[in-house]
């Protein structure tokens, strides 16, 4: 409980600890949230969940009855879904030795082997197939029109250790289905959670270690609101979307399998022969805008630069070697690999970049991901899948109407409504940091103006507006 005259935000603030489910390989956890944060989450998030379950379930059931199974996805549509936007994050320009052996015929015959990329959904190996859903690890092989730009051409899909191309007809269509399943599951349980869980430790330390009114805390509090409650509900709540059986729980597999897949964002994942997988390195805090090999990455980078210009102005007002900032950095670096520690934080613009990286992830990156995934057609990107894993022998036509059970479409629909669709509580363009310094108040206003200017510049460049500024939340609120 906070008191108005206390030195700190909370008398007993939150603090990171090893994750109970996997202390050595999972993102540090923040448990035992302050009552104020729990109430805020209950009022703005938990209450919405309850109302949606009451009001949305009948509509979702009706939708599921009218929209059975899946839609066929052409090669062109498959490429559109996987080569840009939120799923475009998987595009990786490095083929490991395992990949080169797997796709040897294509690699050796390619005139431009340096233009080969992969979309690796091998973490699906962590979810075993069962009576409810088939699952399989897949890797999609692409060739790019230019070395670092241009459209992607779909070349092959590996399912387990078998490689399929368009000439494989029915098996090719089945391979696309399993790749789309891997794309949906790995996007929502692995790449997107990178924007949620790693910064929880910094969130807790900022609220507990820094005294009230400290400039860093003023800057970060609007961006840290609701995040701990949201993430705690997902990772440790009894009603988590990761727990099978809930009306809104759409994933194949068990709770422990889902948790293992989520943990991959922190510990990384190796190939079966224990060699490193370039698509899944262990987590390291980014000090630059993350590189994505698609136009979505260009969009995100533009906003990173805008935020960095603002945080540099804020950092100018912080005394060099402020002991509180050094201590703040020391504690965060203990929990977050790659975060600049007490001896690094004031080198160059490390402090501004650390602040920018966190703010960008939990505002622009997080909101844009949700905005884009909410536009995904769940009948094109399935979670559960009632289909045979392609083995080269399938020849009978695929009956798309029977590939997903009605109840699974219902659960996916409810999950989309409750968790994937954006539900903003506050907006980035309305943020008032409450700065007392007159120069910083001007910088606050200038920052909002520059966000608008960034949006207009991207429009003028002809880049797709992956999310309008008016739809961006400043924090992880859903």
Residue the block writes with tokens 């230019």? 146
Rounded mean pLDDT of the chain?
97
Report helix, strand or coil for 66: helix
Of 117, 70, 414, whose CA–CA distance to 291 is shortest? 117
Assess contact for 231 and 197: CB atoms under 8 A: yes
| Domain coordinates in residue numbering, the chain | 16-74+181-471
Query: What pLDDT is stored for residue 5 in this prediction?
Result: 56
Instruction: Supply the DSSP string of 322-333, one letter for each residue.
Output: -HHHHHHHHHHH
**Residue where the block lists tokens 């007809």:** 169
Residue reference for tokens 């075993």: 128
For residue range 143-156, what is the model confidence (pLDDT) as tens digits?
A: 999 988 889 999 99
Distance CA 39, CA 103 (A): 53
Tens-digit pLDDT profile for residues 227-236: 999 999 999 9
What tens digit of pLDDT does each residue of 186-233 get?
999 999 999 999 999 999 999 999 999 999 999 999 999 999 999 999
pLDDT tens-digit profile of 304-360?
A: 999 999 999 999 999 999 999 999 999 999 999 999 999 999 999 999 999 999 999
Q: What DSSP string describes 147-215?
A: SSSS-EEEEEEEETTEEE-GGGTHHHHHHHHHHHHHHHHHIIIIIGGGGTSTTHHHHHHHHHHSPTT-H
234 alpha-carbon distance from chain centroid? 13
Torsion of CA 351, 357, 363, 367, to 10 degrees: 180
pLDDT > 90? residue 175: yes
The domain 16-74+181-471 is classified under which CATH number: 1.10.3470.10, 3.40.190.10, 1.20.245.10, 3.30.365.10? 1.20.245.10
For position 3, what pLDDT does the model report? 44
Contact predicate 41/229, CB 8 Å: yes
Give pLDDT tens digits for 45-100: 999 999 999 999 999 999 999 999 999 999 999 999 999 999 999 999 999 999 99
């Amino acid at each position: 409980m906070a008191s108005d005259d206390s030195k700190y935000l909370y008398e007993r603030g939150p603090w990171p600890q090893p994750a109970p489910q996997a202390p050595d390989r999972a993102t540090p956890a923040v448990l035992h949230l302050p009552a104020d944060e729990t109430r805020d989450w209950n009022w703005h998030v938990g209450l919405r969940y309850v109302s949606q379950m009451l009001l949305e379930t009948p509509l979702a059931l009706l939708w599921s009855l009218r929209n059975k199974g899946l839609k066929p996805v052409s090669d062109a549509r498959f490429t559109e879904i996987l080569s840009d936007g939120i799923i475009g994050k998987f595009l990786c320009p490095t083929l490991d030795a395992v990949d080169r052996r797997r796709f040897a015929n294509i690699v050796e015959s390619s005139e431009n082997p340096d233009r080969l990329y992969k979309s690796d959904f091998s973490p699906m190996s962590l979810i075993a197939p069962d009576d409810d859903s088939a699952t399989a690890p897949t890797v999609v092989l692409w060739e790019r029109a230019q070395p670092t730009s241009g459209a992607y051409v779909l070349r092959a899909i590996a399912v387990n250790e078998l490689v399929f191309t368009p000439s494989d007809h029915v098996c090719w269509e089945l391979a696309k289905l399993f790749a789309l399943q891997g794309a949906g599951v790995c996007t929502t349980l692995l790449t997107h959670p990178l924007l949620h869980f790693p910064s929880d430790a910094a969130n807790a330390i900022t609220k507990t270690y820094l005294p009230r009114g400290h400039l860093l805390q003023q800057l970060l509090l609007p961006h840290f609101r609701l995040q701990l409650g949201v993430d705690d509900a997902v990772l440790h709540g009894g009603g988590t979307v990761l727990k099978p059986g809930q009306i809104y729980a759409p994933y194949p597999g068990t709770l422990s399998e889902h948790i293992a897949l989520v943990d991959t964002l922190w510990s990384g994942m190796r190939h079966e022969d224990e060699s490193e997988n370039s698509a899944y390195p262990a987590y390291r805090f980014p000090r630059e805008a993350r590189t994505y090999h698609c136009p979505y990455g260009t969009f995100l980078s533009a906003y990173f630069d805008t935020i960095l210009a603002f945080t540099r102005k804020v950092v100018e007002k912080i005394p060099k070697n402020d002991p509180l900032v050094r201590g703040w950095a020391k504690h965060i670096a203990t929990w977050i690999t790659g975060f600049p520690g007490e001896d690094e934080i004031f080198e160059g613009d490390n402090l501004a970049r650390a602040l920018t990286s966190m703010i960008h992830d939990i505002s622009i990156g997080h909101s844009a991901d949700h905005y884009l995934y909410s536009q995904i057609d769940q009948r094109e990107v399935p979670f559960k899948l009632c289909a045979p894993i392609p083995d080269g022998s399938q020849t009978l036509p695929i009956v798309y109407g029977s590939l997903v059970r009605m109840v699974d479409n219902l659960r996916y629909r409810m999950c989309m409504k409750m968790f994937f669709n954006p539900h903003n509580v506050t907006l980035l363009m309305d943020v008032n940091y409450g700065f007392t310094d007159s120069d910083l108040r001007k910088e606050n206003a200038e920052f909002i103006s520059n966000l608008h200017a960034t949006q207009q510049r991207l429009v003028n460049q002809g880049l797709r507006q992956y999310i309008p500024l008016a739809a961006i939340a400043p924090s992880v609120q859903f």
